[in-house]
Amino acid sequence: MNKIHRSGILFVLSAPSGAGKTTLTTALRQKPDFVYAVSCTTRPPRTGEIDGEDYFFLAPDDFQARIAAGDFLEYAEVHGRFYGTLRTTVLENLSKGVDVLIDIDTTGAASIRSCPDPVIAAALADVFIMPPGLEELAHRLRRRGTESEDQITMRLRNAAAEMRHWRDYRYTIISGSMEEDIEKFRAVMRAERYLSRRLIIPEP
């Protein structure tokens, strides 16, 4: 390219279970101004989920083979299931100046922060969605109606641990209505896209 352009940004979105991360991600994907990196998982699909759109649903043996092959930028075990982000999806788009969005838990985000690849380090913009409190989070989980009370208790315990990591993120959004969360996240995206250090200006 011989015109001014910018490098791709890796937007990493994390939130405790029930804080609205999936709904927020779905809403953000309605505008095609970034590539959404679909994660791989060993958990079974929920009702209405589509393979290759919501997740790549892999058998445990297949997931382990991909770990051995170094296919994942990050991976982690969460609630007894494995989740991972494919390296090629992220790097190929960033190299073209295309922004990438991934939604992962705090363990996965920490793995990306510690990634030795300078391209990843330069591209990273991580955002944590902080629920207003555990009581509100419990209300949202029960309203969702997809887990038993024991599972909700486990998720709340895990959420309390995840919420302690909010300072590790460049940005923290206190969750409100879905419309407010979308606008706040879009504001972060706009700010990151205007950073001077992301500009690539060819030599005259």
Looking at the predicted structure, is the pLDDT value of residue 115 above 90?
yes
Arithmetic mean of pLDDT, 94-120: 94
CA distance 125 to 111: 14
Q: What is the pLDDT of residue 23?
A: 86
In CATH, what number does 5-196 get? 3.40.50.300
Q: Which helix (H) or strand (E) holds 158?
A: helix 149-163
Note the pLDDT tens digit of each residue in 31-44: 889 999 999 999 99
What's the count of helices (H) and strands (E) in the chain, helices before strands? 8, 11
Summarised one tens digit per residue, pLDDT across range 49-78 is: 999 998 999 999 999 999 999 999 999 887
Q: What is the pLDDT of residues 117-150, one digit of tens each?
A: 999 999 999 999 998 878 878 877 787 767 778 8
Report the sign of the C-alpha dihedral through residues 181, 41, 50, 29, in that order. positive
Model pTM greater than 0.85?
Answer: yes
Q: What is the pLDDT of residue 1?
A: 56
